[in-house]
Each structure stands twice: as C-alpha cells, then as structure tokens.
Structure 1
C-alpha cells in the first residue's frame, strides 16, 4: 500500500514538474517573440531600392529582422501611410514632391543626424531643397534625371533641335513614329507643363485645357504608357524614343548599343529620400539600417545593378559608368540650378479625370 501511495506521489510530482516546464517554455517563447519584435523594423519602399542580398547581409550582421513592403507610386505610399496614421512602418522612401505632403500632414518625424555616420559624404546639391530646407525630415538616397532615349538607327542626333520634340511632337511628321511615355498621370502632366512653359508652381484652368489637348494629341504616337519595360521597348526597336528616368535609359544603353540619350532643356529630376514615419518607435534600429545602406559598398553595387545615381558624391569615381554619365552625376551647381522637380499641379480627382480623358 505504501509502495502504491509512493508511486502516486511520484506521478503527481512528475505531472506538476511537466506543467511547470510547459509554463516556463511558453513564457520563454513569448519573451523571445517580444524580443524578436523589438529587434525588427518594417520598411516601405520601392521594390528596387534595397537589394535583397544586402538586406539579408544586414540581418545576419545585426540580428535585426527587416520586413519589406513595397509600393509602385508615391500616391500608393501616401494612402498606406495615411491609413496607418504614420504607424506600422519604421522607414519609408518618398520622392521629393511627396515629402511636402507628408510633412504638411504630420506624418514624418525629425531625424537625429548625430546617429548617422555618412552625412559628410552626401552630395551637397541634393541637400537643403525647398521641400525640406534643413533636411530635418528626409535625407537623399538616390536620384535620376528624366531623359529622352532614342534609337540611333532611326534618329540622328544632328536632326534633333529640342529633345522635348522627340516626345511631344510626331518627330519630323514621320509615319509610324512611336514613343514610350510615363504611365503616371502626375508625372505626365508635370512633364507636359515643363515642355509648354518650363518650371511652373501652379497652372490656370486655361493651361489645364492646353495640357489636356497636348497629351490627347500625343496619344496618336504613344506605343506604350510605361514606367517599367520602356527600356526593352526602346532596345528592341518597338519604339523610336522614350521619355524615362535616367536609370531606365541607362539600362537600355547598357543592353542595346544602338541607344543614345539626351537630357532635355529645363530637365526634371527625381530624388528618392529616406524618412521616418511619425509613428516609428524603433529609431535606433532604423539608424543602424541607414548607416549600413548608405555605405560606399552598397551604393557602388546599387548603381551597377539598378543605374540609380547615388546620393554619396564620393562613390561616383567607383561606379561602372561612362565619363558622360559621371559628369551628369556630378552636375555643377549652375547645371543643378537648371533642374526642377515634379510638381503636383492638379487635385487628385481632376488629375484622374484628365488622364482618363487622354487615354480613352
């Protein structure tokens, strides 16, 4: 009898120990999960901004998990950030004109630049611009120029009086002349305004009608509205010319030797920036991420893969680019003053209605 009671006590003790062990394991796993969440950041960016192999390398070196989320337009970024009220994301990569909206809506927080080791290497021409004069909220990461690429088998450079003419006129009245145009209505409207009047901060209703008429006329020789694969259409001879970001043009130039490009008069540039949403609570981890991705090693790799101009000026000599392209990256202060930015010239609904009318 005593033996049986002893066995029962042992079984009960074992069961208690097992339950204690289960509780401890659950508690420990929960603590690990909380720790893992604390050592992670969520990034909202263009799909080609942060190379996945470098993201993996960053995770291995720092133990910080990176959750990548992507968007295809600045408007999509704005919608996602508004819906999250500046929370859910720890780092975003808006274009220049989007920063104005994000700041106005209180969706960005100030950057502690003392935590960043690369500040002295940033191209000063990309700093102190009107949408963030002190760069308190955003830092330039990469940039490009809207260029006109063309097929030298079809167009001789000496025949071109204005590079804009390759896009906004049926060049020399040629039958079968075809181009690639931006599929982003905000960009297309701003580019049309630039062609008609140069840099403008706003437009009248009469000017809206003039832009609409120009874009509807242009529709007759647009082969494709595209922000990707335009380099392929140009390189394969499907079109005569294409108005695209310099990264797309240079990709075509690299792959197809018959391609050349022109930088338009009153050229428009686009600068992508890194910024912290207002709801970010993981600033220190984000600063580690930025210090890693603003390295010379990454920028050299990034240009050689994606052809986006680096924000670090000390990288230019090390990228695989022609002297002509490096000169563009090093644009002089006087040349840079000749550039302007994409401007949001119309309210969203009016812009949408105009674009539907153009493409229908």
Structure 2
C-alpha cells in the first residue's frame, strides 16, 4: 500500500474512533429517555401523544390509572422517580406537595396559558395550586360528578343523591369503587356540615349508610369504559358518575339513552391539573407536554371525544346557577379507603369499624 494512502487510511480510522467515543458520551436522555406520563383515561390518546412526539422528537410512555388511590400508590412508590408528569385534582395535589413529590412549574414556559379562560389563568384564585408563591400545577380539565340515569327506566331525572339508596332501584345501581368520594356522598345524605371533614362521632352513621348503599349496588367500577359496559349489560337504572360528562358521552355512543342530573345537595366536582414530579428526568420536556395539551388540537379532542370540559373554552354543562362542591382534602383519606375496603368486602358495621 502506498505510504500516502496508508497515512490517509490511518487518519480515517482515528477519526472514526474519536467520533464513536464522542457518541458514547452523549447522555442517553438526550434522545432515548422517554417522557413518562401518568394520566387518567382520555387524557393522552395515541394520536395526541404521536403529534407531541413528532413535534419534539421525544418518546412518550403513558401509564393510566383509575382511582386516586392507584395514582398515589404508583407515584409515591419510588418517591416520584418513576414518572415525570402526572394529572391530579386540586384536592389530591395537596398531599403530593406535602410529601415533596412535586416541583414548581416553570410558568414562563407554558405560553399556551394565554389561551385559557381568565378564571384558570388566575392561579392564585384556585385553591391549592400556589403555595408560598410557587406554582405546583396547571389546570387542564374539570367536571361535576352527577347522577347518570337510564331515561327508559326513570321518566324523571333524580333530584337527590339519596336516589342511589332508593330501594326501588335495588340491584340497579352502579357505584364508583373508591372510599373518599363515597364517604362524601354518604355525608351529604346525612346532611353533615361538610362532606370533606367528617367528625369521628359521625363515622359509624356514615359507615351504616355505605353498607346500605352496598346492598343496593349491582357492581362497582374504576374505569369509565368499565362503567359503560356494566351499566349496559346489567340494565342499570342509576350510576354515580365519578368521571362526569365523560361517562355520559361514552354511554350515548354505546346506544344507551342516558340522562344526567346534578343533585340538589350539590355535585362534587374535580379540577384536574398537570404537575411535574420532583425527580423528573427532563423538566423542560414535561413543561412542553403541559403546554402542548393547552393547544387547540388536544383541547378540542378532550371535549369532542371524552365529553369533558377543557380550560380554554366555556363548558355548557357548568353554569353559575348549578350548585358545585369543588373537591377539598378530606380529614383522613387512608382511613376512608381502609373502611371502604371492608365495606365492599361485605363486612358488618362492627367489623368495618374494628381497630
């Protein structure tokens, strides 16, 4: 091999080695670390995720949850290290903040906040989002939790939450399988001063009410699609709508003549927000995800597909005249869930309340 050619080959080999060495030192998260999203059904549809991936070049991994307890379990299991961004209601958000599982939101990077309705842009006016000047979440979607009923079986919309306990609907009621909201519903039927703060002396009466509810119920659900199948297959008459108008839309698509009513006692209502975990691998990408979901395409999809309100357009389902009870932190969430587990298992009141 001529000396000049040999020298050229050696030079090229050396450049190749150097190039490969540089590649080896590029952090994996620059092109391989996915954005890990923890969300509720309907918040991250495949095509919505795909568009974000195409815009950012990032890869997104979505995990769905069906209850607040499942959300807490998954996120807190490894001190938030398993996820980057998650959807949570304002009441539940408080314990994530208290445990130091969330980081402040870089509000300046959420430019699409300018598209939100004024009441959702004013973060200081939304209870629980701002603590000591730090913003911990950005509002995304909301709904009241009313009563869904079959118009063929109920010619008149139910007026009270007590309809779930009405003996004429025994075996035709479907309930949400979670303790926190069911304890609040029972407290409403007992006309306690607050459904979110039940005094210890009133717990036995609430437990008795929930045991009575259990006897009326044909099934418990956790996912919206599950509730639709259950409502239709079991020919249910009434259902507590934990997912609100999302379930109404799904039922109508399934061919059910579903009506929706807000009880006179006041409908519990949630405001879901996006928050970033303290251990997020790429907080800028997490902020980009939040910003993207406030864009027109995801917002319209949320409303047209899920029947849920978004924070960038007025919702026809919530008006000032309707009584709404926005969720608040409860007196002891773990205790409510513990007692609810015993109630669902079929235990007597004495066993439910046992230490």
Show the 5 A alignment for 1:249-268: 249-265=248-264, 266-268=266-268
CA shift, 1:24, in A, is 4.2
Q: Partners of 1:237 and 1:350 in 2: how far apart?
A: 28
Task: List per-residue Cα deviations over 1:20-62 (Å, max 9, x = no partner).
Answer: 8467436425527453146x42222224311111211111122
Aligned equivalent of 1:35, options 30, 34, 43: 30
- Runs of 5+ consecutive residues of structure 1 not aligned to the other structure: 1-5, 317-325
When the two structures are superposed, what TM-score results if normalisation uses the length of structure 1?
0.80
Could you say which residue in structure 2 is the equivalent of 1:271? 271
Could you say which residue in structure 2 is the equivalent of 1:323? none
Q: Which moved more, 1:128-137 or 1:60-69?
A: 128-137
Task: List per-residue Cα deviations over 1:98-122 (Å, max 9, x = no partner).
Answer: 1111111222222222221222332
- Runs of 5+ consecutive residues of structure 2 not aligned to the other structure: 347-355
CA shift, 1:208, in A, is 0.9
Greater percentage in helix: 1
Q: Is 2:316 the counterpart of 1:327?
A: yes
Could you say which residue in structure 2 is the equivalent of 1:215? 210
Aligned equivalent of 1:119, options 113, 117, 122: 113
Q: Partners of 2:277 and 2:176 in 1: how far apart?
A: 28
Aligned equivalent of 1:56, options 47, 50, 58: 50
Q: Partners of 1:181 and 1:63 in 2: how far apart?
A: 42
Could you say which residue in structure 1 is the equivalent of 2:140? 141
Could you say which residue in structure 1 is the equivalent of 2:164? 167
Structure 2 CA distance for partners of 1:257 and 1:217, relative to 1, 3 Å = closer
Check the 8 A contact 1:181/1:242 in 2, yes or no: yes
Structure 2 CA distance for partners of 1:203 and 1:299, relative to 1, 3 Å = same
What secondary structure, in the 3-state scheme, does the structure 2 residue paired with 1:270 have? Answer: strand
Bigger CA radius of gyration = 1
Aligned equivalent of 2:76, options 64, 71, 82: 82
Q: Partners of 1:75 and 1:226 in 2: how far apart?
A: 14
Show the 5 A alignment for 1:179-194: 179-194=173-188
Show the 5 A alignment for 1:146-161: 146-157=145-156, 160=158
What secondary structure, in the 3-state scheme, does the structure 2 residue paired with 1:218 have? Answer: helix
What secondary structure, in the 3-state scheme, does the structure 1 residue paired with 2:88 have? Answer: coil
Q: Partners of 1:227 and 1:195 in 2: how far apart?
A: 23
Could you say which residue in structure 2 is the equivalent of 1:241? 238
Structure 2 CA distance for partners of 1:239 and 1:205, relative to 1, 3 Å = same
Could you say which residue in structure 2 is the equivalent of 1:359? 345
Q: Partners of 1:302 and 1:327 in 2: how far apart?
A: 14
What secondary structure, in the 3-state scheme, does the structure 2 residue paired with 1:215 have? Answer: helix
Check the 8 A contact 1:253/1:260 in 2, yes or no: no
TM-align CA RMSD: 3.2
What secondary structure, in the 3-state scheme, does the structure 2 residue paired with 1:197 have? Answer: coil
Could you say which residue in structure 2 is the equivalent of 1:346? 332
Check the 8 A contact 1:178/1:221 in 2, yes or no: yes
Check the 8 A contact 1:190/1:343 in 2, yes or no: no
Could you say which residue in structure 2 is the equivalent of 1:232? 229
What secondary structure, in the 3-state scheme, does the structure 1 residue paired with 2:63 have? Answer: strand
What secondary structure, in the 3-state scheme, does the structure 2 residue paired with 1:239 have? Answer: coil
Could you say which residue in structure 1 is the equivalent of 2:350? none
Could you say which residue in structure 1 is the equivalent of 2:353? none
Could you say which residue in structure 2 is the equivalent of 1:299? 299
Check the 8 A contact 2:150/2:257 in 1, yes or no: yes
CA shift, 1:224, in A, is 0.5
